[in-house]
Chains A and B, each alone.
Chain A
Amino acid sequence: MSFINYSSREINCKIVFYGPGLCGKTTNLQWIYKKTNPDSKGKMISLATETERTLFFDFLPLALGEIRGFKTRFHLYTVPGQVFYDASRKLILKGVDGVVFVADSQIERMEANIESIENLRLNLAEQGYNMDIVPLIIQYNKRDLPNVVPVDDMRRALNPRHLPDFDAVASEGTGVFDTLKAIAKLVIMQLKKG
Chain B
Amino acid sequence: MLGSDLVMYEEEFKKIDGELQRLLQQANAKVVFLVDKNGQLIAATGETENLDTTSLASLTAGNIAATGGMAKLLGEKEFSILFHEGVRDNIHISIIGQRVILVVIFDQRSSLGLVRLRVKKSAEIFGGIFNQLLQKVETEKGPGKGAESPFAEITDEDIDKLFG
**B and A form one assembly:** yes
Query: Contact residues of A with B, CB < 8 Å?
Result: 1-8, 11-12, 14, 42-43, 45, 47, 56-57, 59, 61, 64-65, 67-70, 72, 75, 87-88, 90-92, 94-95, 97, 128-130, 133-134, 177, 181, 184-185, 188-192, 194
Residues of B within 8 A of A90 (CB): 69
Query: How near does chain B come to A184, taking the closest CB pair, in angstroms?
Result: 7
The answer to whether A4 touches B38, judged by C-beta atoms less than 8 angstroms apart, is no
A65-B162 contact in complex given A8-B13, A42-B55, A87-B69, C-beta closer than 8 Å: yes
Query: Contact residues of B with A, CB < 8 Å?
Result: 1-10, 12-14, 36-40, 42, 52, 54-55, 58-59, 62, 65-66, 68-69, 146, 149-154, 156, 158-159, 161-164
Q: Which residue of A12, A56, A67 contacts B40 across the interface (Cβ within 8 Å)?
A: A12
The answer to whether A3 touches B5, judged by C-beta atoms less than 8 angstroms apart, is yes
Give the distance in Å from the alpha carbon of A189 to the alpha carbon of B157 in the complex: 12
Query: How near does chain A come to B163, taking the closest CB pair, in angstroms?
Result: 5
Q: Which residue of A177, A185, A192 contacts B151 across the interface (Cβ within 8 Å)?
A: A192
**Main SS at interface, chain B:** mixed
Query: How near does chain B come to A191, taking the closest CB pair, in angstroms?
Result: 5
A42-B65 contact in complex given A7-B9, A67-B158, C-beta closer than 8 Å: no
Number of A-B residue pairs with CB-CB distance less than 8 Å in the complex they form: 138
Query: How near does chain B come to A29, taking the closest CB pair, in angstroms?
Result: 13
The answer to whether A129 touches B1, judged by C-beta atoms less than 8 angstroms apart, is yes
Residues of B within 8 A of A95 (CB): 3, 36-40
The answer to whether B55 touches A128, judged by C-beta atoms less than 8 angstroms apart, is no
Q: Which residue of A68, A130, A189 contacts B1 across the interface (Cβ within 8 Å)?
A: A130
Closest 10 CB pairs of A and B: A95-B38, A7-B13, A91-B65, A3-B40, A5-B8, A64-B162, A1-B3, A3-B6, A7-B10, A191-B151
Give A59's nearest chain B residue, CB to CB.
B58
Give the distance in Å from the alpha carbon of A42 to the alpha carbon of B146 in the complex: 33
20 contacts between A and B (CB under 8 A): A1-B38, A2-B6, A3-B7, A3-B42, A6-B9, A6-B10, A7-B12, A14-B40, A65-B162, A67-B154, A68-B158, A75-B39, A75-B40, A75-B58, A88-B69, A90-B69, A91-B66, A128-B1, A190-B2, A191-B151
Query: How near does chain B come to A5, taking the closest CB pair, in angstroms?
Result: 4
Give the distance in Å from the alpha carbon of A123 to the alpha carbon of B13 in the complex: 33
The answer to whether A177 touches B163, judged by C-beta atoms less than 8 angstroms apart, is yes
The answer to whether B152 touches A192, judged by C-beta atoms less than 8 angstroms apart, is yes
A194-B38 contact in complex given A4-B6, A43-B52, A67-B159, C-beta closer than 8 Å: no
Query: How near does chain B come to A70, taking the closest CB pair, in angstroms?
Result: 7
Give the distance in Å from the alpha carbon of A123 to the alpha carbon of B10 in the complex: 35
Residues of B within 8 A of A7 (CB): 8-10, 12-14
